[in-house]
Amino acid sequence: MHKEELLELHAKMVSIMDHFRDMDGIDNAVFEPYDELDVTPDDVHKSKSEHKHAVFVLGNALANVMAEDEFSDAGRIGKRMEELADDAESKL
C-alpha cells in the first residue's frame, strides 16, 4: 500500500472513531492507546511505518468497540490488529 492510500485509510478510520465517540454507552478510554501515539492522518511528515502502526492500533480499538466478546468476529479481528500493531511498532 502506498503512503497516500494509507493516509486515506487512516482518515476514514478516524472518521469512524469520531462516530463511535459521539455515541452513548461507548467507553472512550478504548481509544486512549491511539490518542497517545500522537499520529493523525494530517501528519503527512510522519513516516509510513508510524501511520501503519497507528492504523493497526486504531483498528484494534474499533474492533474492540464492536466486539461482543473475544471470540466474536470483531473480537478476533481486534486480536489480530493488536498483533499487527505490535509487529509494526517493533519496526519503528
Per-residue model confidence as pLDDT tens digits over 40-90:
999 999 999 999 999 999 999 999 998 876 667 887 888 888 999 999 999
Structural domain for 59, as ranges: 3-38+45-90
Q: What is the total count of domains within the chain?
A: 1
Mean pLDDT of 3-32: 95
Give pLDDT, residue 1: 87
Q: What is the pTM of this model?
A: 0.86
Contact 26, 20 (CB under 8 A): yes
pLDDT at 8 over 70: yes
Residues 6+ apart with CB under 8 A from 39: 46, 50, 51, 53, 54
Give pLDDT, residue 70: 67
